Structure formats: structure tokens, C-alpha cells
Structure 1
Amino acid sequence: MFGISPLGWVHTLGSLPAIPLAVYMFARHGRIVPRSTAGTLYFISMLIGAVTAFVVARQPVSYGIGAATLLLLLAGYGVGRVSILGRAGRYLETVFLSLTAFLLMVPTVTETLRRVPDGHPLVTDPKAPLLLGSQVTLLAILVIGLTAQLIHLRRLDRLALETGPGKTNIR
């Protein structure tokens, strides 16, 4: 079905839960929160997807996406534990993990358009306008989303400074 090997299904089904988990965390927290239940499940799902990408990859770019995803995932989950970075760690964590979501969505959208419906995919040419438009849309969502996340984190930091010890927070 869809020309996917058994190992390809492990890759697909293993990484698939990361999509709704990322959407949930973006909607609820404005970012991927690594030290949460959803964040832990996201990490596991992304790790499965990134590692198995090396086995199922057919194009050289897939190896690059897998390696970048793996590095950003590990950096995103590790940088928050480096206390010397202070608040900058949270910003880096947000950027790294948002990039992992982007690197998940680009091949997901590309492969879906190139495989569905089974036998008569929506896209057969890698330069098809639908495919390129989808990828540009994902890039725009990344840029706009990251900008919004960083502005939100900055506002939280300012609010924390304003509502230091002895001050009240009235909204």
C-alpha cells in the first residue's frame, strides 16, 4: 500500500504521533515543552522517525534531513539543562525544537502528496507547483511561528522582571 516497505511503515507510524503532539504543545504552550508528558512522547516519536530515516531514505537529502533532525532534537532537549545559558537556553530550546517540527512536516507533506491517493498521487513531479507551494507555506509558517514564539518568550521574560518579589501581576 502506497509503495511503503514494512520498515517504512515503522518509520511512518513511529514518527506520526509527533505531529499531533507538536500541534497540541504549540496550541497549549506556544512552543514544544520538552519537560512534559507530551514533550517526552514527542521526543520518542521524533527519535524513532529520525533514526529510521537513515534506513528508509532513498534520496541523499533524506539523510541530511534525518541528521539535522536528530542533532536539533538532541540539542533542543539538552540545551535547557545547561544552566550557564540562563534564559537564553529557553530561546535556543524553542528554536531547535520548532525546527524539528518543520523538518518533520516537510517530508511528511512531500511524501503524502507524492503517494496519495494510492496509484494516482496528487504530485508526480518534484517541481510541481502544489508541492513547491506546500513547502513554501511550511517555511512561512516556520518563520512566522518562530517569530511569534520568540516575541512571546520575550514578553514572559519582561513580565517576570516587572513582577519580581513584592510586586503583583494584574492583567
Structure 2
Amino acid sequence: MFGISPLGWAHTLGSLPAIPIALYMFARHGRITPHSKLGAVYFVSMFIGAATVFLVTRDPVGYGLGAATLLLLFVGYGANRLPASAKAKAYVETISLSLTAFLLFLPTVTEVLRRVPDGHPFVTDPHAPLLLGAQGGLLIALLVGLTLQVARLRRLGGAGAA
């Protein structure tokens, strides 16, 4: 189904919970909240997805996205251990974890458009306007979201948001 191997399904289903969790936390808190129950589930789900991408991708871009996601995930969740001010830690945590969500949504949207509906996907060309528009929309959402998050951190004095 959809040309996905059993390992691909493990990758997909392992990372799937991170999508609604990220959307919920963005809507509820304006950011990924790592030190919460949902934050723990987000971490595990993102880790599964990012770690297993190395087993399922055949594309160098996939390796880069997986490595970047893992790096940002560990930086975001370990920000409170950085030798920096609480304000700086809040910025690092918020920006890093927002970037992990973007790095999850980007290949998710791309793969859905390139595989659904099964046998007759919406997009067959990687340069199709629908795909480029969806990817561009995600980039705009990231830029607007990061701008709002940084403004909120400034308003709260940085550490107040973490």
C-alpha cells in the first residue's frame, strides 16, 4: 500500500503521533513544551521518526533531514543544560523544537502528496506547483511562527516562556 515497506510503515507510524502533538502544543502554548507529558511523547515519536529515516531513505536529502532533526531535537530538549542564561536557553529551546516540527511537516506533506491517492498521487513531479506551493506554505508558516515565538519570548523576558 502506497509503496511503503514494512520498515517504512514502522517509521511512518512511529513518527505519526508527533504531528497532532506539535499542532496541539503550537495552538495551546505557542511552542513545543518539552518538559510536559506531551513533550515526552513528542520527543520519543520524533526520535523514532528521525532515527529510522536512515533505514528507509535512499535520498541524501533524507539523511540530512534526519541528522538535522536529531541534532535539533537533542539541542532543544537539552537547552536547559547549556552554559547560558535562562533567557538564551528559552530561545534555543523554542527555536530548535520549532525547527524539528518543520523538519517533520516538510517531508510528511511531500510524501503524502507524492503517494496519495494510492496509484494516482496528487503529485508525480518534484517540481509540481502543488508540491512547491505546499512546501512554500510550510516555510512561510515557519517564518511567521518563529517571528511570533521570538516576539513572545521578548515580551515575557525569555525565561518566562520556558
- Partner Cα separation in structure 2 for residue 151 and residue 138 of structure 1: 20
Is residue 33 of structure 2 the alignment partner of residue 33 of structure 1? yes
What CA deviation, in whole Å up to 9, does each residue of 1:74-132 have, x standing for no partner? 00000123353321100110000000000000100000000000000000000000000
Question: For the residues of structure 1 that align with 2:44 and 2:89, how far apart are their CA atoms?
Answer: 21
| Residue number in structure 2 paired with 1:125 | 125
- Mapped pair 1:71 → 2:37: no
> Paired residue for 2:113?
113
Partner amino acid for 1:131?
A: L
| Aligned length, in residue pairs | 159
Scaled by the length of structure 2, what TM-score is found?
Answer: 0.95
Structure 2 distance, partners of 1:84, 1:102, is 25
Question: Could you say which structure has the larger radius of gyration?
Answer: 1
Q: How much has 1:156 moved relative to structure 2?
A: 1.2
1:30-70 alpha-carbon deviations (Å, 9 max, x no partner): 10011000100000000000000000002110000000000
- Distance of 1:84 and 1:111 partners within structure 2: 38
Query: Which stretch of the first structure deviates more once superposed, 73-82 or 117-126?
Result: 73-82
- Specify the code of the residue in structure 1 equivalent to 2:6: P
* TM-score (normalizing by structure 1): 0.90
* 83 and 35 in structure 1: CA distance in 2 versus 1, 3 angstrom threshold: farther
- SS of the residue corresponding to residue 12 of structure 2 reads helix
* Cα distance between partner residues in 1 of 2:17 and 2:152: 26
Residues 28 and 83 from structure 1, CA distance in 2 versus in 1: closer, same or farther, beyond 3 angstroms? farther
Which residue number corresponds to residue 135 of structure 1? 135
Q: Which runs of 5+ in 1 are unaligned?
A: 161-171
The one-character-per-residue Cα deviations of 1:17-41 (angstroms, maximum 9, x if unpaired) are 0000001111111100110001000
Unaligned 5+ segments in structure 2 are none
Give the corresponding residue for 1:166.
none
Name the CA distance, whole Å, in 1 between partners of 2:138 and 2:149.
16
Distance 2:71 2:84 in 1: 21
CA distance in structure 1 between the partners assigned to 2:118 and 2:127 by the alignment = 20
